[in-house]
Structure 1
Amino acid sequence: MINIIKGQSINELTYRALKKVTSDGHSMSSRNGNTVTLYNTELILENPRARHLRLEGRTNNIFAVIAETFWVLAGRKDIKPYLEFFIPRAPKYSDDGITWRAAYGERLYAFGQLENILECFKKDGIFTRRAVLSLYFPSEDTHTSLRDKYNLEKTLDIPCNNLLNFYVTPNKKLNLKVTQRSGDIIFGVCNVNIFEFTVIQELVLQYLKKEVDDELTMGYYNHSVTNLHLYDFTEKQGYNVIENLALQQFHLDASGTMAFPSEIKLNKEFFENLVDLITGFITNDKFLFESGVKEARAVFDYYGVKTVGNLLWDYTTSVLCFVYEKKAGQYQEIDLHHTSEEFRYSVLNSGFKKQPQVEL
């Protein structure tokens, strides 16, 4: 049996997925606790730009989601100090307390995989069936390779998401299907996974429009998960969402779009610079918000990435706000009026207690 769940936004999709899991799921035990599990599920996000989670009853940190996405796009695997600052539980998923062994970012760029996506479309045409990217590496993730390469009998970190398949349909829309073996609906699938992979979908679209066919537009996002589950220690959040929201309350506002460096080969370097910049402010007790924005703008300018009307810039300044708030213990106003309403609400629901006013 296949469970197909659709939503115009991540909020609608998450709401419907939670209802389906809690009503039709099976009680199962796991390594990490008891779960309610739904098997063989297709989650279809019809507007991938509507990726900003803001559900009453669901506590989530949009800044941590953005920061982890930057970390993935930087190709990083080290968890201290950057990732741990945003996700304090990060060391719990590390074999050595230093790195995530199966970090997606490192694998995203391994063997030129990201560049290969673009090459497939350029050489085979826009309807290529070969534009796939693997996050599961047998050379790294089988029991044999774990013993031979890492001297490990078991690991805390086997990739949950395994394959990214980019494809264009006859209406010239770029779609992305992600195959996942196992996914936690609260902290994983409907939180960071869909966010980061739809950002990558938008990134690939930019280069395909520039180098292959400028008529291409964003299609849908399909997250295919074999084991979708809700843990017993987060089930209260799931039921809170269901109890507090009615479907008719959802509305779609995903007007914000992103711009990246002009060449796909520059992306890793660009995001490495952003992560290094943010890391510097995390470790600096005298971090000034204004200097952070100035230095971030210099990174964008160096790589020719616009800031005005670029949701990626809003993501960057919002993360800087979060760092400043945690370091200085006070709020920093920032103008988000020109961006997606959905993103603004997500920011405000993550802890900003007054509407930002200052334009940067």
Structure 2
Amino acid sequence: MNESVRYPASLTQMPNYRNISFATVDSVADVLTSGVEVRVRGKLTRELLGRVTSLERPYERYLFVPKRHSDVFAQFAETMWMLAGRDDIAWLTRYLPRAPEFSDDGTTWHGAYGPRLRRWCGSIDQLDEARQLLTKDLASRRAVMMVFDPARDYVDSKDIPCNNWLSWIARNGKLHLNVAVRSNDAMWGFSGVNAFEWSVLQELMSFWLGLENGPATYFATSFHLYDIHFDRVRQMNNSFHGLTPYDFGIGRAPFRTLWDEFECKLKKWFIVEEKIRAEPNVPLFQHGRVDDPFLDSGLALIHVFWAHRQWGAERLVKELGQLPAEDYVVAIYDQLRRLYPALTDNIAQPEIRRFFEACRGISVNASDDFKLAIKRLHAEKDRAYGGAWKRRGELVSILPNIARKADRLENLVQTGATMRGESLLDTVIDLYVYVEKYRLFLAEHLEDNDLLPNDARKPYSDHDANFDTLVDRLDLQMPTQSTKELISDVVTRFDACWRNAETRGDTAEQFELATKLAEAAGALIARVVADDTVALARFVRSEVQHAGR
């Protein structure tokens, strides 16, 4: 029975992410590693309850996650369909072939957001009402838009709205959006179209109110993954490079249409879209524009969707090369390179070319990326703590740091207890860093040692380059012993170090004991990295972000 499942209290914390790409990868990893198995309508899921996720820059809406296989054409089309207040699936199916699967009558979506937001009860345009309310009083807390309708939705349907409530609040010159979601499929809902379409709605409302885009926060009662996506999630985490185009001087096509002109331009957009469908084999924008950068970017997307197979690879490269260095163009390249592998070898826009080159560079050698991440972590902590780790010597400062990590690992083996916010890999890396720094400390007191080259700067433990040299030697070939066996080995070797230090043993002997401990810590890292590629990818990504790459 699902009622007997116990959910960890830590799952109600609120992660904050720069944009949807980072949120997607980390969120699905959280579900996979911390979610509880629940069967819903006969399907196996992993689920987090009460998940709250905040996007700092929701306008960075395009998803750049390898192996996710997002469909930027469908995202934009469905968003326009929603803004126009439509629920007919005949039009939507052209871009989203699975749309009929969620229709009760084969004609409409019962839970389509468009009519509920633009024509609630047949007449109330909630978008306009919220806009007017905030125009009159920017401090108002009443700008709420409903999606779930009790009069209609307590029924058996293939399409009950998952997103139920939207609330706007303006503070400090920024418009914040909060969305309540009863059921959030982390793969096809949150990262599929939800974050995209609501970010567009937020950009529209911000422009009409003369405000900056604030964060968007999602409250999900059930944040889940279906088992058919578990393997894909692992692939996504292993492949994500921690970069998005927004780090490379690539902007976006902004929305710039006044409210009084909005309906007219919406209608014109669909007229041009129909012309494109009827005659796609013409140059981009030959069928016209609507004179709004954002809406016109959607027409470019739609045109490429219908025309690329008729154009072929060479013509496609030429057409894309005439577009600006903006996020939607990167998204087109990213999606269509799955069909045209050489597409990103011929990018005309320098900023976009640099983005793809950087992604390829990060993906070349996972081992080197991991070691670089360890070096960055060490350098960051060294700047923050300086020499505090060794200030009071071995028994008061250095060895107790190692002891905490060794004892933490031993307790994990004995009890299985996990710690909120700290993975096994995090603990093992900290252990390894402390042990290697200890070896550098001991080597300073030895006349003869082969730990470092003769020209290494002294004191050894005060210079990052010396630590980096040891990291470069780390052997990441997976050992045959289990994680439990390796942790036991670490604890045994640490105990030997501690006993020798307590008795004021010979420094050379202590160095040898510390070297054996370092070997055990390195083997444990190699094992954990091999067993938990999701944690590995998250760690590397985190350090890439901190480094500002």
TM-score grouping bracket, smaller chain normalisation? 0.7 to 0.9
Helix, strand or coil at the partner of 1:102 = coil
Identity across matched positions, percent = 27
1:114 corresponds to 2:127: yes
User: Post-superposition shift, 1:7?
Assistant: 1.1
Answer whether contact 2:269 2:295 (CA < 8 A) is retained: no
**Paired amino acid for 2:273:** I
Query: Residues 258, 128 of structure 1: CA spacing in aligned structure 2 closer, same or farther, 3 A cutoff?
Result: same
Measure the CA separation in 1 of the matches of 2:322 and 2:206: 24
Per-residue deviation, residues 252-282 of structure 1 (Å, max 9, x unmatched): 4462142243225x43443243234424543
Q: Which of the pair has more CA radius of gyration?
A: 2
**Paired amino acid for 1:79:** I
Answer whether contact 1:71 1:271 (CA < 8 A) is retained: no
1:256 corresponds to 2:252: yes
Measure the CA separation in 1 of the matches of 2:130 and 2:46: 36
1:345 equivalent in structure 2: 330
1:174 equivalent in structure 2: 175
- Equivalent of residue 287 in structure 2, options 264, 281, 295: 295
User: Post-superposition shift, 1:4?
Assistant: 1.4
Helix, strand or coil at the partner of 1:108 = helix
**Paired amino acid for 1:18:** V
User: Post-superposition shift, 1:225?
Assistant: 1.0
Query: Residues 296, 140 of structure 1: CA spacing in aligned structure 2 closer, same or farther, 3 A cutoff?
Result: farther
1:42 equivalent in structure 2: 52
1:94 corresponds to 2:103: yes
Helix, strand or coil at the partner of 1:115 = helix
Query: Residues 272, 229 of structure 1: CA spacing in aligned structure 2 closer, same or farther, 3 A cutoff?
Result: farther
Structure 1 runs not aligned, ≥5 long:
144-153, 210-215
1:156 equivalent in structure 2: 158
Helix, strand or coil at the partner of 2:89 = coil
Measure the CA separation in 2 of the matches of 1:260 and 1:106: 24
Answer whether contact 1:336 1:344 (CA < 8 A) is retained: no
Per-residue deviation, residues 222-272 of structure 1 (Å, max 9, x unmatched): 11111111111122221111122354x4564462142243225x4344324
1:25 equivalent in structure 2: 35
2:81 equivalent in structure 1: 71
Helix, strand or coil at the partner of 2:43 = coil
Measure the CA separation in 2 of the matches of 1:56 and 1:141: 36
1:83 equivalent in structure 2: 92
Answer whether contact 1:75 1:268 (CA < 8 A) is retained: no
Measure the CA separation in 2 of the matches of 1:274 and 1:311: 11
1:313 equivalent in structure 2: 296
Measure the CA separation in 1 of the matches of 2:258 and 2:54: 29
Answer whether contact 1:5 1:44 (CA < 8 A) is retained: yes
Answer whether contact 2:253 2:297 (CA < 8 A) is retained: no
Answer whether contact 2:127 2:145 (CA < 8 A) is retained: yes
Measure the CA separation in 1 of the matches of 2:288 and 2:20: 28
2:372 equivalent in structure 1: none
Query: Residues 257, 288 of structure 1: CA spacing in aligned structure 2 closer, same or farther, 3 A cutoff?
Result: closer
Query: Residues 92, 198 of structure 1: CA spacing in aligned structure 2 closer, same or farther, 3 A cutoff?
Result: same
Answer whether contact 2:20 2:62 (CA < 8 A) is retained: yes
The structure with more helix, counted as a fraction of residues: 2
User: Post-superposition shift, 1:67?
Assistant: 0.9
1:103 corresponds to 2:88: no
2:138 equivalent in structure 1: 126
Measure the CA separation in 2 of the matches of 1:260 and 1:139: 37
User: Post-superposition shift, 1:337?
Assistant: 5.3
Answer whether contact 1:336 1:356 (CA < 8 A) is retained: no
Query: Residues 32, 85 of structure 1: CA spacing in aligned structure 2 closer, same or farther, 3 A cutoff?
Result: farther
Measure the CA separation in 2 of the matches of 1:281 and 1:37: 42
Per-residue deviation, residues 113-134 of structure 1 (Å, max 9, x unmatched): 11111111123x2111011111
The one of the two structures with greater contact order (alpha-carbon pairs below 8 A, sep at least 6) is 1
Query: Residues 260, 104 of structure 1: CA spacing in aligned structure 2 closer, same or farther, 3 A cutoff?
Result: farther
1:137 corresponds to 2:149: yes
Helix, strand or coil at the partner of 2:167 = strand
Query: Residues 296, 155 of structure 1: CA spacing in aligned structure 2 closer, same or farther, 3 A cutoff?
Result: farther
Helix, strand or coil at the partner of 2:59 = coil
Query: Residues 246, 348 of structure 1: CA spacing in aligned structure 2 closer, same or farther, 3 A cutoff?
Result: closer
Per-residue deviation, residues 40-77 of structure 1 (Å, max 9, x unmatched): 11111101111110111211111111111111111111
Taking structure 2 as the reference length, the TM-score comes to: 0.55
Question: For residues 144-223 of structure 1, what are the structure 2 equivalents within 5 Å?
Answer: 154-169=156-171, 171-209=172-210, 216-223=211-218
Structure 2 runs not aligned, ≥5 long:
1-8, 350-549
Measure the CA separation in 2 of the matches of 1:255 and 1:108: 29
Greater mean alpha carbon deviation, residues 3-12 or residues 349-358: 349-358
User: Post-superposition shift, 1:197?
Assistant: 0.2
1:330 corresponds to 2:312: yes
User: Post-superposition shift, 1:193?
Assistant: 0.3
Query: Residues 207, 180 of structure 1: CA spacing in aligned structure 2 closer, same or farther, 3 A cutoff?
Result: same
**Paired amino acid for 2:282:** F
Measure the CA separation in 1 of the matches of 2:240 and 2:300: 30
**Paired amino acid for 1:192:** V
Query: Residues 56, 168 of structure 1: CA spacing in aligned structure 2 closer, same or farther, 3 A cutoff?
Result: same
What RMSD over aligned residues (CA atoms) do the two structures have, in Å? 2.2
Measure the CA separation in 2 of the matches of 1:32 and 1:55: 29
Query: Residues 28, 75 of structure 1: CA spacing in aligned structure 2 closer, same or farther, 3 A cutoff?
Result: same
Measure the CA separation in 1 of the matches of 2:108 and 2:239: 38
